[in-house]
Chain A
Amino acid sequence: MTWDFIQHGLARWIHIMAGVMWIGLLYYFNFVQVAALKNAAADTPPTGAGITKHVAPRALFYFRWAAVVTVVFGIIILGDKLDDALFFKERAYVPIGIGAWLGLIMFFNVWVLIWPNQKKILGIVPATDDEKNKARRVAFLASRTNTALSIPMLFFMSSSYLFHAPMFA
Chain B
Amino acid sequence: MKNPLDSLWGTVITGVVLTVVLYYLARIIMGG
**A residues within 8 Å of B by Cβ?**
30-31, 35, 88, 91, 94-95, 98, 141, 144-145, 147-152, 155-156, 162-163
Q: Do the beta carbons of A95 and B26 come within 8 Å of each other?
A: yes
Q: Do the beta carbons of B27 and A151 come within 8 Å of each other?
A: no
- The number of residues on chain B lying at the interface, defined by a beta carbon within 8 Å of a beta carbon of chain A, is 19
A164 to chain B, nearest CB (A): 10
How far is it, in angstroms, between the C-alpha of A141 and the C-alpha of B22 when the chains are bound?
21
**B residues within 8 Å of A by Cβ?**
3, 5-6, 8, 11-12, 14-16, 18-19, 22-23, 25-27, 29-31
How far is it, in angstroms, between the C-alpha of A144 and the C-alpha of B14 when the chains are bound?
10
How far is it, in angstroms, between the C-alpha of A95 and the C-alpha of B30 when the chains are bound?
9
Q: Do the beta carbons of B11 and A144 come within 8 Å of each other?
A: yes
How far is it, in angstroms, between the C-alpha of A151 and the C-alpha of B19 when the chains are bound?
7
Q: B29 touches which one: A30, A88, A141, A155 (CB < 8 A)? A: A88
Majority SS at the chain A contact face: helix
Q: Do the beta carbons of B23 and A155 come within 8 Å of each other?
A: yes
With a cutoff of 8 Å between Cβ atoms, the chain B residues found around residue A162 in the complex are 23
- Residue in A88, A141, A144 whose Cβ sees the most chain B Cβ within 10 Å: A144
